[in-house]
Amino acid sequence: MIAAWKWIKLLAIAALFVTIWVLWLKLEASELEQTVLSNKLSKAAADNSTNLETIEILKGEAASANQLLVKRKQQQIEAEGKLNAEMEKLKQQMATIKCHVPTHVTERLRESY
């Protein structure tokens, strides 16, 4: 019976050492995984920062472009209004003018070149 206890003790100690060795390997793997994930997190944070800066730059450019487009549209509307007013004025001036174009001139204008 004493020999059996001796073997049981040796097996228990061996099992303890195997358990400690397996746990040590798992700890090493966890530390390695933590290092890899930490590096990925650092890279993602740097990419995020770069993307945020790019977004801010693009927001500023979009605002500038929008202001420019609004200004151009206002200028176009003003120019159109002036042109329409001038055309209306010219039409009113031409309404009072009596003009007779000779028929030979109108026939000549209708000829193909």
Residues 47-97 pLDDT 10s = 999 999 999 999 999 999 999 999 999 999 999 999 999 999 998 888 888
Average pLDDT, the chain: 93
Higher local confidence (pLDDT), 21 or 105 = 21
Give residue 1's identity as a one-letter amino acid code.
Answer: M
Both tokens assigned to 76: 């176009």
| pLDDT at 100 exceeding the cut of 90 | no
- Return the pLDDT at 20: 96
| Exposure of 17 in the CB half-sphere (CA atoms within 13 A) | 6
SS3 107: helix
